[in-house]
Amino acid sequence: MLLWSLLLLRGIAIGFLLEPPGCFFSGSKRSIGSIKVTSSDSTSCNNRRVFEPGQILLPSTEEDPTQFDTACVVNPVVVPPSNSYERWQLYYYGNFGHWKDGTKGFLPTGWCGLAESDDGIHWTKVVGQRERGAIFAPSDDPAAWDSVHVGVNDVLRIGDKELHMYYFGGSSEQVAELGGFTGVRMRIGRAKSSDNGRTWTRLGMVLDYDESEGLFASWPRIILESTKATSDKWQMVYHAYDGSKWRVFGATSTDQGESWTRKGLLLEGEADEESFDFNGIGTRAVAAPWKGGALMIYEGVNKKGGHSLGAAFCSDATGDGTWEKVGDLDGCSQLGGPIASPGEGCMKSWTSTVVGTPYLVPMPDGTLRLYHCGRAGDEGHSIGLQISESGGVSPDCWSPAIVKQN
């Protein structure tokens, strides 16, 4: 049971299939994509590489100014342009083969980075002021709850001048239930930035793990519709792992994110062993309003550890209600999906091993953007984009974004 739990922990939570030990950080330095890199003082270095359909951001190479993400780039968090800032922003996490304490971690977390864009498709990495060009790093205090690895999972614009990041992190605490591994006991924290994401100040932990839910609390998403002036409760969705299953939980805040109160289980996998989400539900994205309510795209994990994306719906656009898997999706054989699977349909060959960490952006013209991560074989994870022109989520609605290449 212990071995199976460790293998599952490697495979879920961040959008990955079960794989032999060590494969997470075997990112190659091959030239399969294009990254333009600029530092925060506008110094730039351009590399000519080739994108595959759907790929929009790739691990850095040894020649790039950013070096914290040479093994993988994962978990896109996308902030569209606003009156406060005219460019698209994409926050992500990655590492260069190990965590801050030198361990070769079981997740592709580690440090956080930033890229910017004029159209949400063609991206320029920003070189941060933390080690190896990161914008956010594990705590310098070795006893802190987030001293070993961190991962950005949502960014909100608070007024005109401030951004708030919701992230998760792990410490050196050893978890006996999983063989004494460090970095497993993850918790949720918050940080703020007043310079459009270049530098961050920690605001402390906002949600600890709860033993009744599992071994950690992680991957928080704030439902943006709930943060508007018409709502008196902010809504957070996150997930936990109890040693066998992943489940999605919720929390609410009545003081604009200063403190959070748990509201319980929101969504879990089906009991049918043939279901694409039998082993549970991990990372997820929420878009609202969508068809009068809120849409969730989530990672479902099957009995063998394979990942696919599914869909759920809440009739309350703020997410303060019951979540139910969508049951009338064209081309889907099960409740909720799958709407996308590794290397199939819109997900091209570069996702043949992994597809996960979804992030949704509803566009003013009614189209829907689905940012995600992917990987093939032992190559480094990269970030991609699928676009639904109709705003629907059935498998045939999605098309991979195409990056224009010189």
Distances (CA, A) of 60 to 314, 361, 385: 38, 25, 18
162-170 vs 149-158, strand pairing mode: antiparallel
Topology annotation, domain 2-400? Tachylectin-2; Chain A (2.115.10)
pLDDT score of 262 more than 80? yes
Q: Quote the pLDDT of residue 40.
A: 45
Which residue from 290, 161, 254 is spatially nearest to 311, judged by alpha carbons?
Answer: 290
pLDDT band at 23 (very low <50, low <70, confident <90, very high): very low
Q: pLDDT (tens digit, 9 = 90+) per residue, 60-77?
A: 998 999 999 999 999 999
> What is the spatial distance between Cα 310 and Cα 74, in angstroms, rounded to a whole number?
19
> Cis ω on the peptide bond leading into residue 289 (within 30° of 0)?
yes
Residue 25 φ/ψ, nearest 5 degrees: -115, 35
- Best CA proximity match to 282, nearest among 327, 241, 318, 223: 241
Sequence spans of domains, the chain: 2-400
Peptide bond into 358 cis (omega under 30): no
Residue 406 pLDDT grade (very low, low, confident, very high; cuts 50, 70, 90): low
Q: ∠ CA(164), CA(222), CA(24), 5° rounding?
A: 85
Please tell me the distance from the alpha carbon of residue 283 to that of residue 151, in angstroms, as a whole number: 12
The alpha carbons of the chain give a radius of gyration, in whole angstroms, of 19
Strands 44-47 and 368-375: unpaired
Helix (H/G/I), strand (E/B), else coil: 304:
coil
Give the integer Cα–Cα distance in Å for 293 and 221.
17
The mean pLDDT value of the chain amounts to 88
| pLDDT at 370 > cutoff 50 | yes
Which pTM was predicted? 0.91
Report which of 14, 5, 382, 11 is spatially closest to residue 218, judged by C-alpha positions.
14
b/e per residue, 67-93, with b = 16+ CB within 10 A? bbbbbbbbbbbbbbeeeebeebbbbbb
Give the model's pLDDT for residue 4.
42
Highest mean pLDDT among 109-118, 231-240, 303-312: 109-118
Could you list the beta-strand ranges (E) of 175-233.
Answer: 187-193, 201-207, 218-222
Give the span between the Cα atoms of 399 and 53, in whole angstroms.
9
Provide the token pair at 300.
């479902």
pLDDT of residue 231: 77
Cα dist from 252 to 108, 207, 256, 263, whole Å: 28, 11, 9, 7
Model confidence pLDDT, tens digit, residues 126-160 = 999 999 999 999 999 999 999 999 999 999 999 88
Q: Quick check: 317 and 28 in contact, CB under 8 A?
A: no
Q: What is the pLDDT of residues 24-57, one digit of tens each?
A: 333 333 222 233 333 443 333 334 578 999 999 9
Place of tokens 């941060």: 128
